[in-house]
Amino acid sequence: MAGIGTPDLIIRHGASPHAYSLRPSEAAALEKADLVFWVSEGLTPWLKSRLEILASKAQVVELMKADGTVELPYREGATFANHDDHSGIDDHSGIDPHSWLDPENGKVWLGVMASELSKIDPSNADLYFQNAAAGTREISETVARINELLKSVHGVKFVVFHDAYQYFERRFGISVSGSILAGDALAPNPARLIEIRGQVAEMGIGCVFSEPQFNPGLVASVLQDAGVNTAVIDPQGIELELSMDLYPQMLERIAKEIAACGEE
């Protein structure tokens, strides 16, 4: 939309998408919208009913349903040693919604956005598609830099705070062996912590990652003086300035943190 207009952001920057209360200004923006993009009901289950009520006159586009979007099923268990079988990938009830962490999905969605914007504003269609093409090139350049950054840590094993990164892992060949949380914002049970601690000790885990919005004490409880490196990765760009460059910056920053922690 650069050079044409500025979209409204419904979930404020830095907030968790999984549970959220709309501010009056955000609800008003939905009511006025001609077009609404959202990732999926799996990421923001609370939003579906709000869209039906507040954005009933708008064209609503669920990006995860766009043709060409890469989808991965949720993994089960604290450790991911046996998750190379994708026989369940078509089970949409169990699709992992953290799909923006695959930059190929970002490219697909730029095309979808340009197409949908052009339908409601055909006079600016050329500019929408030019902007989408520029954004696609920027993502491709970012992917090339990330591949260089991560060359040195291929084969290093990592543990993450919650299982949100498999799209990034599979795109860039990163080996994540397990997660501390079973899902988004769920407290781990003692058995899961024991399993993860065993994984850290037995499999030579190179680094354990926490996230800005979660309790760092849980990471400490898993490590228990295990001598493992720790770092923070941010799958939402919470610590970055809200701008048109946020998406490629977020992807590259994740890669830099992984590379730095894995090389220590």
In a domain, 144, yes or no: yes
For the domain that residue 153 is a member of, what is the CATH number?
3.40.50.1980
**Count of domains for the chain:** 1
In a domain, 176, yes or no: yes
In a domain, 66, yes or no: no
In a domain, 43, yes or no: no
In a domain, 96, yes or no: yes
In a domain, 87, yes or no: yes
In a domain, 47, yes or no: no
- Tens-digit pLDDT string for the chain (264 aa): 999 999 999 999 989 898 899 999 999 999 999 999 999 999 999 999 999 999 999 999 999 999 999 999 988 765 665 444 333 333 334 899 999 999 999 999 999 999 999 999 999 999 999 999 999 999 999 999 999 999 999 988 898 888 889 999 999 999 888 888 766 646 667 787 787 777 777 878 888 888 887 777 777 777 766 778 888 899 999 999 999 999 999 999 999 999 999 876
- Own/partner pairs, 220-224, CB within 8 angstroms, 24+ separation: 221/193, 222/159, 222/180, 222/193, 222/196, 222/197, 224/197
d(CA 233, CA 212): 7
Boundaries of domain holding 218: 72-264
Task: Check if the beta carbon of residue 166 is closer than 8 Å to that of residue 72.
Answer: yes
In a domain, 97, yes or no: yes
